[in-house]
Amino acid sequence: MTESRHELMPESKWYVVHTYSGYENKVKANIEKIIENRGMEEFFEQIVVPVQDTIEVKNNVRKSVQKKIYPGYVLLKMIMTDDTWYVVRNTRGVTSFVGPASKPVPLTDEEIISMGIEIPDFELDLDLGELVRIITGPFEGSVGNVKDINHQKKTVSIALSVFGRETQVEVDYHVLQRM
């Protein structure tokens, strides 16, 4: 029995490339076009310019706009090979990979989660009333009791003591640690 080529391929990882400021979307489009033209789709899983919705007020008019979270950077989930490195590195608008020039460094799982790029699937094994610690985010280090579990949204409501009062906060599964 022979293994398919796909089973032998290494796992894709997230890398960051630096671009000229303001060229992030153009770089993304250029890389996607090159990948398509060269038939390299199997090496590139995702290319992202992270944005967040914000409200801008101009002339007393509120307008929802998308702002780049990391201006000057494009994130790529790809399999690093000499060919994929060459394609990305030589794309117009790309100045460099983040990491030493000869060897781009993939993001760690912790960086990926903290940046909100990917939220891993978590199986939650908690009970109501159980004591948990929040391990990342604005409530990092806080300890509280589980009050509600929403499996559909993958969130947990926790009762925390904030300024001496019990306050319920809703957090994602992946930011919790059992006590």
For residue 179, give every residue at least 6 positions away whose Cβ sits within 8 Å of its Cβ, in sequence order, or none: 130, 131, 132, 133, 143
pLDDT digits (tens, 9 = 90+) for 94-115: 999 998 766 799 998 878 877 7
Number of H helices, E strands in the chain: 4, 11
pLDDT digits (tens, 9 = 90+) for 57-92: 888 888 888 888 899 999 999 999 999 999 999 999
Between CA 133 and CA 171 the distance in angstroms is 11
Between CA 14 and CA 20 the distance in angstroms is 20
Q: What is the pTM of this model?
A: 0.63
**How many other CB atoms sit within 10 Å of the CB of residue 28?**
20
Query: 105 is written with which tokens?
Result: 């460094």
Q: Tell me, what's the pLDDT at 102?
A: 67
The 176-178 sheet, strands edge to edge: 165-172, 155-162, 143-150, 131-134, 176-178
pLDDT digits (tens, 9 = 90+) for 132-176: 998 877 888 889 999 998 877 778 899 998 888 888 988 887 788
Residue pair 5/97 in contact (Cβ under 8 Å)? The answer is no
pLDDT tier for residue 1 given thresholds of 50, 70 and 90:
very low
**Which residues, listed in sequence order, are joined to residue 151 by a DSSP beta bridge?**
none
